[in-house]
Structure 1
Amino acid sequence: MRLLKYLKKLFFRFNILFGVLLLLSCLVPYIPTDMVPVAAIFSLSIPLLVLLNILFLLVWLVLRKRQLWLSLIILVIGYFSLNSFFMLRFADKKVNESDLKIMTYNVRGFHGINHGKRDDDFIRLKDLISEENPDIVCFQEFNYLKRDDFKNYKYKYIEYIKNQNKVKLGIYSKYPLLTKGLLDFPGTSNDGAFVDVAYKNDTIRVYNLHLQSLQVVPNPEVLAREESSKLYTRLSKTFKKQQEQARIVSEHRKTTKYKTIVCGDFNSTQYSNVYKTIKEGDLIDTFQEKGSGYGKTYNFEYYPVRIDFILTDTDFEVIAHKNYKEKLSDHFPVMASLRLKTH
């Protein structure tokens, strides 16, 4: 009996510890990662902290103990401060043919994930895009040699960069492209691109981003073998670069008068200041509006990481958002259906 009482006390202490950590995590989006890199690393743990606090709540609920109020209050505060990383929805509005469908996809150079079956994965990837039939596709880690393989798209922007270390970006569109350009992130192999699209009787600006790569193998066992100090140093440098790139995107976005969509691989979660900097103003996260489930976009084993986004300004209504589960890259594609609002 005494042992049981001791275990309950110990369990409650852990409950307090992880509850406090979740509350502290509510501050993470407001901390620039170039000033406090550990904040961005902390942001990666937020889904785990949420799950742990849900577990504590369920245990106290089963035991019918008043300690459940601690976890419940913390989870409510976390929900309204951070937004949910799990969305529960049962139906979307009907997507019309006239709605704009946009997809973002880090394709990993079309190398696939099946050893020795690269061509098979590429064929399946092309079939997926053909079936889903988005109006605009933004590729990250694009393979320039595949530039003519997407026949359904009359217009495209793939800047050939002589620097072999620079990651290629590809934008394909069924609508004419008026203006094209690169953001040219300094001192990095990553980059951002933008196009102005003639859509119906309007012009929209589309950004395709690939922020600084984490260079992390998506396997817990591999990560556990890496020296923690080396991992921290590498991630700190990465998050500092991402913050710099996020500011470049934010400043560039202020120069356009057009309706705007920002999409791509941010290599950072929705809880980071990097995400907050890009999203600042009136941009809407299509997953938060119409997504369901965890919205996992990166194939990290056993952990729901969302680092690929489609953000749109308030001139668009988000009709639908879809996350895919096809394992044809280390990322999963994301697609949103948007409708221009009539004023």
Structure 2
Amino acid sequence: MKKSTSIWDRVVFAINLLVAVLLITAGIISFIPFQFVSSFAILSLFVPFFFAFNILFLIYWILKFKRQFILSLVAIFIGYLIFGSFYGIGGNDFTNRTESPSLSIMTYNAWGFNKNGWMKEPGVGDSIVQFIKKQDPDILCIQEHTRIRHRQLKQYPYRSETPYVPQRTIQAIFSKYPIVGNGSLNLPNTRNNIIYADIAHENDTIRVYNIHLQSFRIVPSKDDFSDGEKSEKIYRRMVNTFSKQLEQAEIFRVHLENSPYKNIVCGDFNNTQFSNVYKIVKGDFQDTFLEEGTGFGRTYNLWKIPLRIDYIMADQNFEVLSHQNFDIRLSDHYPVMARLRLKSHE
């Protein structure tokens, strides 16, 4: 009986070692902004699972009074140092933070306002408009926009949209404050796009970026990893997507470094906070969820997994007052909203 138990523990420890190594490897890869790591960058999608399994292994070994618990303890500690927290323990209540002259901003991938009927409920597009009107952000960034919808958003006298280019998804920035400049980064060989608008607010000019990076084009209801041939195709698609996202993130970063203004970055990155894509875009910016968010901050459901791939970030000139994730199912993404204040306005 003792021999059987020993063999079992060896098997458990071997699996434990693999999961610990994968967590640390995913962390190391997240700092390597090179195309050749795209095949391994997919590990970033599984970081929450690596953490969860290491915690289970940690508990298992502690309950057995075995020193093997040190392996998972070290892996979790290193993972935390690399990735930081990915669970918000409670920020400020958004509804109670209306200090003037603060600035509320929302990002939302509206999925074309359901113009293609992906959601079967009637009036989804109009419901999105009503939701936006109810929340009434000062600045609104929409990914996968539909141009005609601006007619229903009359509370915003200013807007900037993706230039008219065939086969390009449309991004839009709506503002209650004057837009004094705008532009598009025109990402190469993709349907995706990054736009920006320079907005006059109080005595400052703020540049707002609206980002929509390359999509994995994975549909949970259709894509099946149990089929070997299909799963291989999906894997290749994911690797190619990571590579394209890295290219797009670098293009964005070069443009951002030449911005003469205070900056806010919003959008659908189509990747998690554990990826090198996220790290490149974020730089030393503040992620409003990490500053003031609560829970896992879900913005997208993939196979029932709560992923956070939509973000609002602000440079160090801003104070993050509050952050809110909305649990409203009108798109394949969930909207995100934050309230910011320029430190110079305190």
Q: Among 272, 276, 292, which residue is 1:273 paired with?
A: 276
Counterpart of 2:178 (choices 173, 176, 179) is 176
Q: 2:60 corresponds to which residue?
A: 59
The answer to whether the aligner puts 1:233 opposite 2:206 as a matched pair is: no
Structure 1 counterpart of 2:133? 130
Taking structure 1 as the reference length, the TM-score comes to: 0.92
Residue 307 (str. 1) matches residue 300 (str. 2) = no
Per-residue deviation at 1:291?
Answer: 1.4
Code of the residue aligned with 1:44 in structure 2: it is L
Aligned-residue identity in percent: 43
Gaps of 5+ in 1: none
Which of 251, 254, 263 aligns to 1:251? It is 254
Structure 1 residue ranges (4+ consecutive) displaced by more than 6 angstroms after TM superposition: none
1:319 aligns with 2:321: yes
User: 1:203-222 to 2 correspondence within 5 Å?
Assistant: 203-219=205-221, 222=224
| Partner Cα separation in structure 2 for residue 260 and residue 90 of structure 1 | 22
The within-5 A match list for 1:1-343 is 1-2=1-2, 3-89=4-90, 91=92, 94-98=96-100, 99-111=102-114, 115-119=119-123, 121-163=124-166, 165-219=167-221, 222-225=224-227, 227-280=230-283, 282-342=284-344
- The TM-score, its normalising length taken from structure 2, stands at 0.92
Q: Which amino acid aligns with 2:109?
A: N
Question: What amino acid sits opposite 2:48 in the alignment?
Answer: P
Contact in 2 for aligned 1:23/1:78 (Cα 8 Å):
yes
- Counterpart of 1:252 in structure 2: which amino acid? H
Deviations 1:165-203 (A, max 9, x none): 100011111111110111100111110000000111110
Structure 2 counterpart of 1:6, which letter?
Answer: I
How many pairs align? 340
1:66 offset after TM fit, Å? 3.3
Q: Which amino acid aligns with 2:135?
A: E
Q: Secondary structure at the match of 2:294?
A: coil
For residues 262 and 42 of structure 1, do their structure 2 counterparts lie closer, same or farther at Cα, with a shift above 3 Å needed?
A: same
In 2, distance between residues paired with 1:68 and 1:207? Answer: 45
Out of 221-230 and 65-74, give the one that drifted further.
Answer: 221-230
> How many angstroms does 1:322 deviate by?
1.1
| AA partner of residue 256 (structure 1) | S
Q: Contact conserved, 2:162 with 2:193, CA < 8 A, in 1?
A: no
Question: For 1:330 and 1:32, how far apart are their aligned partners in 2?
Answer: 28
Within 2, Cα distance between the matches of 1:230 and 1:221?
Answer: 10
Distance 1:118 1:4 in 2: 59
Distance in 2 of aligned mates of 1:220 and 1:300: 12
Aligned letter for 2:250?
Answer: R
| Offset of residue 65 of structure 1 | 3.6
- C-alpha spacing 1:230/1:30, structure 2 compared with 1 (3 Å): same
